[in-house]
Amino acid sequence: MSLAFKIFTNLIDLRKNNIIKFFLKNDCRICIWILSVTRFEENIIKNFEFYYKNIPNDVSSNLNINNQIDLAISKGYIEKKKSDIDKRSTIITASDESIYQFNMLLKNLKKNLSSH
């Protein structure tokens, strides 16, 4: 019980950060954040279709995924770039600050889990 309480209180403390607070608001945003910060060994183009395919329909619709990505872009947590391969395609990636905050969240969770 004390481990769960410690992790929960640390998550509440971390939610004071605007980026973490934004992405932990709903399931769709969590999925978008994880997909945007994840690096793959193969060169994967992270366009809108990538997010549509990798976020299940029972979590969110394509329209909501679009809206959540646009909202994250307007806040500066995700960046939109033009593809070098296909000029019509738009690439969606996490900002450097978003990646940093995600790594801090993981580090904090690992530290709490390994302390017990």
Per-residue pLDDT reduced to its tens digit, 67-93: 999 999 999 999 988 877 777 778 888
Tokens 């939610």, located at residue: 15
Q: What is the dihedral of CA 22, 73, 92, 16, to 10 degrees?
A: -20
Handedness of CA 28, 29, 30, 31 (dihedral sign): positive
Residues with Cβ within 8 Å of 84's Cβ and at least 6 positions away in sequence, in order, are none
- Give the CATH number of domain 2-114: 1.10.10.10
Tokens 């978003």, located at residue: 98
- Please give the share of the chain, as a percent, with pLDDT higher than 70: 83
Which residues are registered as beta bridge partners of 81?
91
Retrieve residue 17's tokens: 């950060």
Phi, psi of 78 (to 5 degrees): -130, 145
Across the chain, mean pLDDT equals 84
Nearest CA-CA partner of 50 in 35, 63, 37: 35
Q: Where are the domains of the chain?
A: 2-114
Quick: pLDDT tens for 41-76: 666 788 889 999 999 999 999 999 999 999 999 999
Retrieve residue 109's tokens: 């969770």
